[in-house]
A and B are shown apart, each in its own frame.
Chain A
Amino acid sequence: MELILACGIGVLTTCGVWLLLRPRTFQVIIGLSLLSYAVNLFIFGMGRLRINAAPIVEGGDVNALAYTDPVPQALVLTAIVIGFAMTALFLVVLLALRGFSGTDHVDGRDR
């Protein structure tokens, strides 16, 4: 499981960075999305990987070892919401630039 997660984060980051460095705005936005997926998975990994363990403690006297760390899950949730909003905003600017310059190059003109 660790190997699969590590490979997944690695592949997403690689693709994300490569696309981020491309000259077309659409490639940049996809690259940023892939990067944010990779980061979200990474935050999960930092809470240690557990299978079949609930994050929310119920009842009074419980064994903490039976539960997974809830903080990274809350962080991921926040990061997803913020990342989604930022991607939407970026999309608007992308379309605005496309409208102004007539090209989808990040510099606003084709070489």
Chain B
Amino acid sequence: MTSLLDHLVIMPILLPLATGALLLFFDDRHRPIKAAISSISALLLVIIAAILVYRAGLVGAVDTEVTATYPLGNWPVPFGIVLVSDRLAAMLVLLAAILGLCAQVYSVARWQAMGPSFHSLLHFLLMGLCGAFLTGDLFNLFVFFEVLLAASYGLVLHGSGSARSKAGLQYIAVNLAASSLFLIGAALIYGTTGTLNMADIAGKVANIPAADRGLFEAGAAILGVAFLVKSAIWPLGFWLTGTYAAASAPAAAVFAIMTKVGVYALMRLSLLVFGDAAGLSQGFGLTVLLYGGMITIAYGAISALAAQTTARLSGSLVLVSSGTILAAVGIGNEGVLSGALFYLFSSTLAISALFLMVELIERVRIEGADILAVTMEAYGDDEDDEAEGEVGVIIPGAMAILAVSFAVCAMVLAGLPPLSGFLAKFAMISPMLNPEGLAVANDVSGPAWVLSSLLIVSGFAALIALVRTGINTFWATLADAPAAVRLIEIVPIVTLLVLCVAMAVMAAPLMGYMDAAAQALYNPAGYINDVLAAPVVVSEVTP
């Protein structure tokens, strides 16, 4: 049992890989078996990730050992690839595992039968996600990015059809071009520092000769552009809304975390490599993140207001979420970052639930009701509905659960008290306006004012857009028959939203975890020491 725990860090990669491969051997006649294996494996992944989080959170103060390392193939560290599980990585693995489990359960109702190998693709996607979060090597990060992208190409096309093929083709083209940029950036960084290990790069940045520094920063900038494409910053994120709207519901629900992989890589690398110890390159690129993030929030909010379908509305809210976190990283304050990590967790859960709900909502309403609603508002053509005989229509149970879920989801995404979205925004805005702490008088910088206003206004825009959709769906629906919603479809949605509520209830310990994670990100010396001193297992070879 102890030996299993020693290998825990690599389990989130091996388990989905093994499950995905195993499921390829069953054909679709054995669909219940496939679904069972897949669900059990996804549940196991959640448990493993929870243990990782528990251990990362256990390790106490920031300057002591924070990170669990795992040198692959037992190669000594700067030469071999190392897996690193610190608080941030463990938390994101847990988030990916939760979304994977919910999408998996949801897909059992309908979507698994709409095309081949849904479960395998989902597990390969989870493998790529976990690997990207856990790896401590730049080129290995590229490989896991490609794994998760390859699986996501399959998932976008799941269910087939003209719209999905068109969106999938453009999505693949954009991501292949971004992968080329990734390789160029990684090669430039290798050429100037002579290493691909992230911790090793961070240790060598200050000593790069002046002649090479420009080249190194160019490499970092190109790499950054590749990550910004994945995290869908304005103007590199136009691929997102169309692709996510075309994807099937469970696929889109997992895609909610895919932009966060780009955000994670930027957060990790910019704070690790361009931290205080980086000499002349300190703080490189943070301004781009700050202003790019702010424009993305504004663009996402306007796009949410203009969205004519619920799926596109959800895609716009993904933009708002990823812009918010990027801007929070760019503002360069430890407290803001800790709030942003809380926001990342809560907003991703809520957006994922929204993507799952989109399909059920579309079932409730009649085709084109959205466009009708927008034009009605535009022309002020809102004539009173005449009461037709039966007044008190009995809302069926499914409709009520769906409506309550939608309301909870809207409150989290718009940041209304008392749910986790409000706490997250409060945790970001408070340190933004009090960067030196509450006890002293603070000078608030201009960008902090703009960003905090943008956060509040974007929440308001999300509220308007979501309320409009909610009213049109649940109050003004023209459908006579109650929507057929299966239990297995509503359970994942409710689970995700209950987690959002639980985040609000358990806010104090969670914020403690996020604070420690943010503090570790801003003091990367501990991470660098732990990774470079990663112990290699010495075993006696018995002949």
Contacts and interface: CB of A to CB of B under 8 A. Distances in A.
Contacts of B184: 39, 42
Contact of A72 (B160, B161, B187): B187
Contacts of B150: 85-86, 89
B173 A90 contact: yes
A43 B176 contact: no
Contacts of B190: 46-47, 71-72, 75
Interface in A94-111: 94, 96-97, 100-101, 106-108
A46 B179 contact: no
Given A71-B190, A106-B170, A100 B143 contact: no
Contacts of B166: 97, 100-101, 107-108
A68 interface: no
B143 A78 contact: yes
B173 A79 contact: no
Contacts of A36: 176, 180
Contact of A101 (B139, B162, B179): B162
Interface in B243-277: none
A28 B180 CA distance: 14
B188 interface: yes
Interface string A67-87: 000011001001100100110
B187 A20 contact: no
30 contacts: A20-B173, A20-B177, A28-B173, A32-B180, A35-B177, A38-B180, A42-B184, A46-B187, A48-B191, A71-B190, A71-B196, A75-B183, A75-B190, A78-B143, A79-B183, A82-B143, A82-B146, A90-B173, A90-B176, A93-B153, A93-B165, A93-B168, A96-B160, A97-B165, A97-B166, A100-B162, A101-B162, A106-B170, A107-B166, A108-B166
Interface in B184-232: 184, 186-188, 190-191, 196
B520 interface: no
A100 B169 contact: no
Given A32-B177, A82-B143, A46 B188 contact: yes
A42 B153 CA distance: 27
Contacts of A96: 157, 160, 165
Main secondary structure of the interface of B (DSSP, over half): helix
Interface string B128-172: 000000000001000100100010010001001110011011101
Given A71-B190, A97-B166, A97-B169, A89 B153 contact: yes
Interface string B460-495: 000000000000000000000000000000000000
A42 to B, nearest CB: 6
Contacts of B146: 82, 86
Contacts of A39: 180, 183-184, 187
B139 A93 contact: no
A39 B177 CA distance: 11
Interface residues of A, number: 33
A33 to B, nearest CB: 10
Nearest to B168: A93
B153 A75 contact: no
A94 B166 CA distance: 9
Nearest to A38: B180
Contacts of B165: 93, 96-97, 100-101, 108
A79 to B, nearest CB: 6
Interface of B: 139, 143, 146, 150, 153, 157, 160-162, 165-166, 168-170, 172-173, 176-177, 179-180, 183-184, 186-188, 190-191, 196
Contacts of A71: 190, 196
B111 to A, nearest CB: 19
B183 A25 contact: no
Nearest to B215: A46
Contacts of B168: 93
A99 to B, nearest CB: 8
B364 to A, nearest CB: 28
Residue among B165, B170, B186 having the largest count of chain A Cβ atoms under 10 Å: B165
B179 A86 contact: yes
Contacts of B177: 20, 32, 35
Contacts of A90: 169, 172-173, 176
Contacts of B161: 100
B143 A93 contact: no
A97 B143 CA distance: 27
A39 B183 CA distance: 7
Contacts of B139: 75, 78
B186 to A, nearest CB: 8
A100 to B, nearest CB: 4
A78 B157 CA distance: 26
Contacts of B143: 78, 82
A8 to B, nearest CB: 15
A108 B187 contact: no
Kindly list the 6 A-B residue pairs having the minimum CB-CB distance in the complex, ordered from nearest. A46-B191, A100-B162, A46-B187, A97-B165, A43-B187, A108-B166
Nearest to A85: B150
A1 B382 CA distance: 73
A14 B157 CA distance: 31
Given A86-B150, A93-B165, A101-B162, A75 B172 contact: no
Nearest to B160: A96
Given A90-B172, A108-B166, 12 more contacts: A36-B176, A43-B183, A46-B187, A46-B188, A46-B190, A75-B139, A86-B172, A89-B153, A89-B172, A94-B169, A97-B166, A101-B165
B188 A106 contact: no
A41 to B, nearest CB: 10
Contacts of A86: 146, 150, 172, 176, 179
